[in-house]
Amino acid sequence: MGDLDKTIAISKSKLALFITALLLIFSIILFAQSFITFEGVILLFLFLLFTLAYIALHLGSSLRGYQKRLTALLQKKIFDNLPNGVTITDSTGTITYVNPCFEQITGFSKHEVIGQNPSILKSGYHDNAFYTTMWNKLQQEGFFVGEIWNRKKDGSVYPEKIQISAVFDVEGEIEYIIAIFSDITVEKDRLQKLKNDKRELETKASMDNLTGLYNRRKFNDIFHREIQISNRYFSHLSLLLIDIDFFKKINDGYGHNIGDGVLKEFAALLKNSVRKTDTLARWGGEEFVLLLPKTNKSLAYILASKLLERLREHRFDTVGRVTASIGISQYDKFDTPAQFIDKADKALYDSKQNGRDRITLYQE
C-alpha cells in the first residue's frame, strides 16, 4: 500500500470514530428521555455541546493534517515524474530530496546525496564570485535562472540549464530551495556544430581555394576598412600589385596542374615574406595584391625589393626560376578606392613594359 492510500485509510478510520461518537450521543439522548428534568436537559445540552466542540476540533485538526500530507504527497508525485532533474535543499543547504531524473542525469542515487551538500556536484568551472552572485539573487529576488556546469558521479562535466526557486518562511528567511535542471550537452553540441559550420562556410567564402589566401571579395572588405582608418587617423597606406611573369608560357608548356602548383608555391613564398599587419590576397589568375597599412611608398618599395630578392633566390620544384613584376601606389585622401587600385595597376603595367622582373612606383 502506498503512502497516499495509507493516509486515506487513516482518515476513513477517524471518520468512522466520529460517526460512532454521534450514535453514542444520540443513544444517551434517547435514554435520558425516560427521566427528563429541566436540570437534566441543561446538563445534557452542555455535555452535547462540549462533546461536539471536542469532536469538531479534533476532526478539523485531522483534516488539516490530512490536507498537508496529501499536498506533500502530490508534490512528491509531480516531482518524481518530471522529465527534469529536481533537487530540494533545506535552510542549512542540505539535500532533502532528489527525483529519479536527477539520478539518471548525475549518476548519483538518492541515498548517496540526501543529507549531503550540493557542492558534491561542483565542476570547478565557476569561481566563488559566481556562487555568491547566485546566492544573493536568490535572497533578493527569490529565483535564479541560467546555465551552470556540474560534475557527474563518473567525473565527467556537463552543462545544465537550471532554474532555482527559494521558498521563504513567515519571517522572510529561506526555508528551502528547489532546483529544476536539465542536461543541455546535446543542445550545446548542436549549437557548437552550427557555429563551426557557419565559420567554415564563411572561411570558404573568403578564401581562395587554390592558394589558401584571401580571395578578392574578402580583400575588398579589408581594403575599404583600411581606407577608412587611413582617413580617420591620417595614416599612410600603400598597395602592391604583383604579377607572375610569363605565367601563360608555364601553363602552356607544363600544363595547368604544374601551373597551379607554381601558383600555390608562389603564394606560400609571399605569405612567408609579409608582415602580420599586411593583407595578402589572390587578385585573380596569376596576379596577387598586398595591402600595407601605416606604410608610405618608400617603405613599400623596400618591402617589394625584398620580395623580389627572395623570389630570385627561390627555385620552384617543377619549373625552376620564376620572376614577377610589381606596381606600387600610395593612398591619397582624394583617391577613391578604385583610383587607388588603378594607380597600382598602371605602375604594374609599366613594370611589364619595361622588361618585367622589376618594381615601379606610380608617378602622377
| The pLDDT value given to residue 341 | 96
72 vs 252 pLDDT, higher one:
252
Name the domain count of the chain.
3
Domain CATH code at residue 237: 3.30.70.270
Whether residues 14 and 104 share a domain: the answer is no
pLDDT at 1 over 50: no
Is 340 domain-assigned?
yes
Is 202 domain-assigned?
no
Considering the candidates 286, 287, 309, 313, report the single residue annotated as catalytic.
286
175 is catalytic: no
Is 200 domain-assigned?
no
How high is the mean pLDDT of the chain? 84
| The pLDDT value given to residue 199 | 82
Whether residues 104 and 172 share a domain: the answer is yes
Whether residues 350 and 219 share a domain: the answer is yes
Q: Which of 80, 97, 118 is the last residue of a domain?
A: 80
Which of 315, 309, 311, 307 minimizes the C-alpha distance to 290?
307
pLDDT bucket at 172, cuts 50 / 70 / 90: confident
Least confident of 58-67, 101-110, 117-126: 58-67
pLDDT at 268 over 80: yes
Domain of 90, in residue numbers: 85-188
Query: How crowded is residue 163: how many other Cβ atoms within 10 Å of its Cβ?
Result: 14
pLDDT tens figures, 284-294: 999 999 999 99
Q: Which of 45, 80, 115 is the last residue of a domain?
A: 80
Q: In sequence order, what are the residues at sequence separation of 6 or more whose Cβ sits closer than 8 angstroms to the Cβ of residue 91?
A: 173, 174, 175, 176
| The pLDDT value given to residue 150 | 95
Is 35 domain-assigned?
yes
Q: Report the percent of the chain where pLDDT is more than 90.
A: 59
CB 235 within 8 A of CB 229: yes
Least confident of 74-83, 93-102, 108-117: 74-83
pTM: 0.56
Whether residues 56 and 102 share a domain: the answer is no
Segment 122-149 shows an average pLDDT of 91
For helices 337-353 and 216-233, the axis angle rounded to 10 degrees is 110
pLDDT tens figures, 221-257: 999 999 999 999 999 999 999 999 999 999 999 999 9
Whether residues 247 and 225 share a domain: the answer is yes
